[in-house]
Each structure stands twice: as C-alpha cells, then as structure tokens.
Chain A
Amino acid sequence: MASEAAVVESGQYLSFMLSGEDYGIDILKVQEIKGWEEVRPLPDTPEYVKGVLDFRGIIVPIIDLRSRFNLTSVEYTPTTVTIVVAIELNGQSHVMGIVVDGVSDVLDVSEGDIRNAPNLGSQINTRYIQGMVNFDERMVILLDLNKLLNPEELGVLDIVS
C-alpha cells in the first residue's frame, strides 16, 4: 500500500449503507462518525439540507444522502449516523455532515480493484461516482465527496470568488 501512496484512488475507504446499497468514501476526509441527533432546520434551503449542527464549536450543514439521491426517505433509527466530513474547495476547507443509514466497514482498496463507473445513460448521473469496487461479493460504490458536495452540484455554497 505504502508504495502506492502516490496513487490518489487507492487507500482506505469508509463504507456505509444507504437503502441496501454499499457506498464508500475516502476515509481521510472523515472527521467524525456520530449518531443521528436533531438538527436545527434552516429556512429556505433545498429539501436534502436537513439543517445545521454544532460540531466542535463550528456550525456545519447536515445533508441527507437519501434525499440527495432521491431515495425514499425513512424514519431515522438508532443506527442512522451522521458522518462529518471535511472537503477542500477553492483552497478552503468546508465541514459538512452526511446522514446515512449506517456505517459498515473500513475497506482497503488498491488501485487495481477500482473499476470505472459504468455509463448508465442520461437517466442516472454518475458524475460523483469515483469508481466501483468488489468486496466480498458486494459491490461498493465509491463516492467522490468533492464532487458530491461541490457547490454547483449541491447548490448550497456560495462560490467564493
């Protein structure tokens, strides 16, 4: 692994469940995993922005990934977690939280295992899919957080000019 450190895509990924599917995100971007707790809703925001939360003294927006992916929303359960991630945009670090059904594992992924996302036609947007990887017979979709939580994609951040 260490010798492949230069390759961006290989490394450890945190996998989580969302509506029965497995997804993975770059573990280095994860700040904290915490149980779901009530957030303070914000007025005049897209449906998937659940609200804001105090995370170590800063205010972070919380995004419901189910709602972001247009999946049916479910009641939050004790296994529902908020993954707090930090992404880098225009040289500035932004901290955000994503709500998922539950975290499952930490995966060691090497570059060779990663397959490109298939072209699913115009119906399904694969822009923020970094790749796919097979792990114990499970298909894990690796998400590119920078793209997923990108201001233009998300429409929530004012682009700092």
Chain B
Amino acid sequence: MTIDMAQFHQVFFDESFEGLDVMESGLLNMDPGTADTEEINSIFRAAHSIKGGSGTFGFTEISNFTHVMETLLDEMRDGRREVTAVAVDALLRSVDVLREMLKAVSADDTIDMDDVQAQQSELEAILNNSESAAPAAGANSAQPAADGAEAITGWRVVFRPLPHMMRTGNDPLRIIQELTDLGDVKVEGDASLLPRLAELDPEECFLSWVITVNEALEKSQISEVFDWVEDDCELSIVPIVTEAVAEQVEAPEVESAVQASEPAQPERRQGERRAEDRRSPVDRRQNDRRSGGGASGSSSIRVDINKIDGLINMVGELVITQSMLSMLGEDFTIDRVERLQDGLAQLERHTRELQESVMQIRMLPISFTFSRFPRLVHDLSSKMGKKIELKMSGEQTEVDKTVIEKIGDPLVHLVRNSLDHGIEMPEVRKAAGKPETGTVHLSAAHRGGNIIIEIRDDGKGLDKHRIESKAIERGLITEEHNLTDQQIYELIFQAGFSTAEQISDVSGRGVGMDVVRKNINELGGSIEIESEMGKGSAIIIRLPLTLAILDGQTIAVGDEIYIVPLVSIIESIQLKPDMINLVAGRGETFKLRNDYLPIVRLHEVFGIESVKTTDLMSGLLVVVEGDGKRCGLFVDDLIGQQQVVIKSLEANYKRVDGLSGATILGDGSVALILDIPGIIRLSSQKYSVADLKQSA
C-alpha cells in the first residue's frame, strides 16, 4: 500500500510557514553578542522541523539548505559561535530564501537556485570563517604548488553567456558581483556582438566579459561561481602567472575603452533587475502574494482547541434539546404547551451560542498581520538610513479571517509610506527639534462595532500645499477649489497620485493608495487621514467587526421595518417639549444631558409616506453614534432586538445611501439595515446641519 504523501503537503507548508515566522521573530529579537539560549533553541527547533519535514516529503533542496542554517544555529546554541549581527542578518535572509523555496514548491514552481546558492555560500562562508582561518589558507597555498611551478597571481576568466542565459534566471551581473566578493577583480565588457537597438531582444544577452581576478585563488573557487551557468555559456578560466601579467592587461584595452563610455542595453536592464532584487524581501513577498492570490485555492485555518471543544459541547446540548422536543412532540397535548415553550427557548439559546462559537472560529488575532511589520521596519529603516522604532498595540484584537487576509497588503503599503515619506532622516529630525529616532505606532482596537487600525507616525506630516499644487497640475482640482484640509488629504487616494520628489524603490510611484482604499472599501471599511505639518500623520482604518451577522434593534417607521445595529445605539428616549430646540428655525436639535444633538427624522430621509406620526413627542428617539458623530433618529416605534444575518444589497442591486444591507425577518419579509454614519451624512446634506457634535 502506498500512501499518497501529497495529502500531507498542505499541512507541511502551513507548519513550515509558521515555523519561518517563529524563526523570523526570534531572529529579530536576538541581540548580537548576547545569546539567549531559549530564543536560539526555538529558532533551531523550527529550522529542524522544516528540515525533517522537507526531507520526508522529498524536497531535498529545502532540507539541504536548512541543514546549513541548522549547523550555524547549532553552533550558536552550544555557545561555540558568537551571535554576531552579520550572522543574524544572514540567517534572516536565509529565512526569506527558505520562504521563497517553500512557496515555489507549494506552487509547483521551480526553485530559483541562484538565490539559494548565493545564500548558502554566504552561510557557509560564515561557518568556515571563524571555524578556523588556517585550513582555508592551507588549501590556498597548496593549490598553486600542485598546479605548476610558476606562482599563480590571478585568473583570467572569459565569460561569454549564450543569448538565452538570462531566461534561465541567471544574471551575469550577479555572477560578476559574486566574483568581486572573492577579491580584487577587474571586469572588462565586450559589446561587439550587440545588435542595433531595433533588433535587440531585451531578453537575450549579447555581452561577454573578460574578468581578471588578481587574487591567488583555487580554480574551484572561481568555477564554483559559474556552477549554475556552466551549460549556458562559453567559459574559460586561465591562470595568470607572474610573467604573463603584462601582456594580459594589454590585450583587452581597446575593447574596454568603447565599453566604458557606452553601457549596453542589456546591462542596464540587468541593473534594473538588480534594483528589483534588492528591494526588501518583504516587498517581494508582497508582490508574490498579490500575483499568487487567486491561485492559492484551498486554504486552511488553525483553530484554538478550546474553541472546538466549546463547539462540540454546544452541539451536544443542542442534540439533547432536540431529542427532548421530539419526545414532547410524540404525544403532545395542549396542557404541555408550557414545556414546549421552555424547550423552544432553550433551543434558541443553544442555537445562538452555537452560532457565536462558529463565528469565533473565523476570528483570529490581528497579530497574524502585524507580525510581519517588525521585519519590514527593520529592513527598510536600515536601508533608508533612518532610525525608526515600531510600536505595536492591540495585537490580540480578534478580527474575521477574511479581514486578516485582505488587510495585510494595504497595511504594508501604508507602513512603507510612513517610513519612506513620513519619518525624516535623523539629521532633519534633529534640526527640527525632534528625537532622532522616529516612531511608527501600529495599533488595533475594537471601538463600537468597528475595528480601528491606526498607523501613526511622528514624521513630517502631509504637505497640504504640495498635494494641492500637484492636484492642480494634474487637473484634478481647479485653483479656486473650496476643499477642506481633509478633502485635500483624500486626494492622495487618487490613482497615480504621488508627490514624492524622488521615486524610490520603496514607494513613490503613485501606485497603491487608490488600491489601498479600494481593498478597504471592499471589506466594508473606511479610511481617514489625520495630519499635521511637522508633527506627523495618522491613517485610520475602520472595519466592520464581523462580516456576516450583527445584533440589531428592529424599529418601525410607518409600514417599514428597519434594523439599527445595536452597537451604534447609545440609548432610546421619549422626547419632552423642553428638550427640543430649533436652530435657525429649521434644524431640530434636542438636549441630551449637556449635549445638543441633531434630530434626524427617518421618514424624511427615506421619504416614507405611511408614517404614523410626525409629532416628535409621540414617537421615540433612538440616539445613535456613527463615525464619532451622534444624532437622534426619530422613529415610530421600537419592535425588538434580534440577531440578523447580513445580506448584500449590492450583489443584485447597488449600494443605497444610508443602508448597509438587508436581512430576512422571521416572517420571510425583507428588512433593511441602516448604515448609521451614512444616514448622518445624508441628513447633514439634507439639512446642512453643521453642528454635529464631535465626540471625543
């Protein structure tokens, strides 16, 4: 009997990615010099199980690579090796490489062995480095003696890639750079085969190089660099002996003169590719995720065992209630109606609890999303030469799994923006009288029925005038616009809008803010910007708590029944004449304790004719809050509270202002769910009520 190992692959990948996260956060916590054994142990364990797993499943590339990492970690764990910043960095990069490998394997792609090889040799270099310098030197000195009588002072490498080499994923530039790591290297390019621009296929390589390595190395050290391209190029590695040096230098002089002044097309392209490669790994990962998003297909979820136990208990209770009810139903007489009612009440309670537990399963702490940011900030800040501290709070806030999946990319984008455009260089900060280290604060919290995610930095803030002039230049607004500051900030969500003077590979291409907003709107959320020049800015994202069910208060206005989300209701009151004020003769407000709040007549907003009463005294006022604003909704009656399943109006119709969806009531009729912030906006448009109270 053979077992189909593929069925376990998904579990292996899930576990491995989790392991990588553990390794990454462990490495980020590690301070060079001080080895926290516990930390190293947990990193080691993670690496070990990835190695074991990949070995079992036959992913030998992964297990070989992990083995090298493991060796390094093992030495650190035993205290045989010091934990240096270099080693930690190398390990961090190895984690990235490993992640790429796993991702490639899980997507049935081929692994980019170039990256892997480069990283592996880096690790090996660290391993060999301090183990002892002596053996390496010994091998070096032994080699020339064996090779011949003359002292070899260097190597002359003629490297002529075949046109298709770059298609195999090999980059000549990287190979040359790897050579330069070996010591003093002189590179001369030959562009004589370069066709005219019109005939040039940018995917082919027309250049060749003569590389002089002025270092007494072993031949194998050089040929190793070319290991991956051996079959895709013409290669000759010739030793340079002492007396030969003079003539070797002479020969390629002529070509190189031409070459130097005229960087060839493919090379420039490679340069770009390098820049691309140099983008932080997190960056690349994000791209991968975006492109691979649709293909990921089946996904699994890890659930706390307590949640499952709770669920099983609940189902047990439900079964008991059900059997009780069916016994009751077998010989039912009218005098037992009370027991039936009891039973039904119990059934309702259990169903509700069951529903809640099932919803709980989809809820995950937002730390799943936040956990990638320490790494991102670590990488980007060192790359940009900025000092940035990342603070996080509310990581345990639970949100729906869909939100976790969709909010990641927008957040990465926003944090990167904060790092790149928000936080200034240390000198600038110092000159502005701010601490050199900038702070980016990432927080999540439940507030009302929403989850609020905030990215707050103490950088330079948005430059209102720059955005303004840029928008005018692009024709988005005219010179004499009447936009508020808030509306000006919102312009940055326009597609293609960027005020960055210099486009960096981190951000500034003007792609993204529109996508960010789109993603967040898709989740039913909203995004807001607060900013103060010189002080910093904050991006505030509001998302609905769950996407499927809400606790609602059913209200009646005329013949219509609406659902008000319970979380937006502060209280319901009956108005007395002395509470009502008219502002400027028409804006109705009422006094609630010490606040004056506007009255919104729902029947006017929605144009309902069948309304029972227009007399404020005889109806009820539901005091609601949305987007920080409060108002009183004037309704005919309160009917009751119930949980409702949110159904989309947009699926078959369109978004309607003031409504967030619809639901189906017990009698099969449809009730509309009110979107409180939307209604407040609608009514303020209608009456232009300017004095909506801003709550703290």
Contacts and interface: CB of A to CB of B under 8 A. Distances in A.
A9 to B, nearest CB: 26
Contact of A52 (B605, B606, B670): B670
A12 to B, nearest CB: 24
Interface in B618-672: 647-659, 661-662, 664, 668-672
* Highest count of chain B CB atoms <10 Å: which of A41, A57, A158: A41
Contacts of B606: 43-44
B277 interface: no
Contacts of A53: 670
Interface stretch (A58-66, A103-111, A121-129, A139-147): A58-66
B433 interface: no
Interface in A100-121: none
B463 interface: no
B654 A59 contact: no
Interface string B541-581: 00000000000000000001100000000000000000000
A43 B655 contact: no
A60 B670 CA distance: 10
A60 B671 CA distance: 12
Contact of A59 (B560, B653, B657): B653
Given A57-B647, A59-B651, A43 B656 contact: yes
Main secondary structure of the interface of B (DSSP, over half): loop
B607 interface: yes
B655 A158 contact: yes
Contacts of A52: 649, 653, 662, 670, 672
A125 to B, nearest CB: 22
A59 B662 contact: yes
Contacts of A158: 650, 654-655
Contact of B664 (A51, A57, A95, A96): A57
A1 B172 CA distance: 64
Nearest to A40: B670
Contacts of A41: 560
Contact of B669 (A38, A45, A157): A38
B607 A43 contact: yes
Contacts of A40: 560-561, 662, 669-672
Nearest to B651: A58
A61 B669 contact: no
B558 to A, nearest CB: 10
A27 interface: no
B654 A157 contact: yes
Contacts of A59: 647-649, 651-653, 661-662, 664, 670
A161 B410 CA distance: 19
> Could you say which of B669, B670, B672 has the most chain A C-beta atoms within 10 Å of its C-beta?
B670
Nearest to A43: B606
Contact of B656 (A38, A45, A57, A96): A45
A57 to B, nearest CB: 7
Contacts of B652: 58-61, 94-96
Contacts of B656: 42-45
A107 B671 CA distance: 37
B612 to A, nearest CB: 16
A137 interface: no
A54 interface: yes
B80 to A, nearest CB: 60
Contact of A58 (B560, B608, B647, B658): B647
A7 interface: no
Interface string A56-90: 01111100000000000000000000000000000
A54 B653 contact: no
A28 interface: no
A42 B672 contact: yes
A54 B668 contact: yes
Nearest to A51: B670
A158 B649 CA distance: 11
A96 B652 CA distance: 7
Contact of B659 (A38, A43, A54): A43
A150 to B, nearest CB: 13
B603 to A, nearest CB: 10
A47 to B, nearest CB: 12
Nearest to A97: B652
Among B560, B648, B653, B659, max chain A CB count under 10 A is at B653
A54 B670 contact: yes
A45 B654 CA distance: 10
Q: Give the interface centre of A44, A57, A158 by most chain B CB atoms within 10 Å.
A: A44
A156 B672 CA distance: 17
A45 B607 CA distance: 11
A51 to B, nearest CB: 8
Interface centre among A38, A52, A58, by most B CB within 10 Å? A52
A61 B656 CA distance: 12
Contacts of B655: 158
Q: Select the residue from A42, A51, A95 with max chain B CB neighbours within 10 A.
A: A42
Interface in A8-42: 38-42
Nearest to B605: A43
Contacts of A43: 605-608, 656-659
Contact of A61 (B653, B658, B659): B653
A157 B650 CA distance: 8
Nearest to A86: B652
A122 B583 CA distance: 51
Contacts of B561: 40
A60 B585 CA distance: 41
Interface string B665-686: 0001111100000000000000
Nearest to A53: B670
Contacts of A94: 651-652
A81 to B, nearest CB: 18
Interface string B432-462: 0000000000000000000000000000000
A52 B561 CA distance: 13
B649 A54 contact: no
Contacts of B659: 42-43
A89 B220 CA distance: 63
A61 B561 CA distance: 17
Contacts of B608: 43
B607 A156 contact: no
Given A38-B669, A59-B670, A54 B654 contact: no
B649 to A, nearest CB: 6
Contacts of A60: 652-653
Contacts of A54: 664, 668-670
B653 A156 contact: yes
A110 B568 CA distance: 58
Contacts of A45: 656
A59 B668 CA distance: 11
A89 B561 CA distance: 31
Interface in B461-519: none
A44 B650 CA distance: 15
A39 B653 CA distance: 14
Contacts of B653: 42, 52, 59-61, 96, 156-157
Query: Which 7 interchain pairs have the tightest Cβ spacing?
Result: A43-B606, A40-B670, A61-B653, A54-B664, A158-B654, A59-B662, A59-B647
22 contacts: A40-B561, A40-B669, A40-B670, A40-B672, A41-B560, A42-B653, A43-B605, A43-B607, A43-B608, A44-B606, A52-B653, A52-B662, A54-B664, A54-B668, A58-B647, A59-B647, A59-B662, A59-B664, A61-B653, A94-B651, A156-B653, A157-B653
Given A44-B607, A158-B655, 4 more contacts: A43-B658, A44-B657, A59-B664, A61-B652
Interface of B: 560-561, 605-608, 647-659, 661-662, 664, 668-672
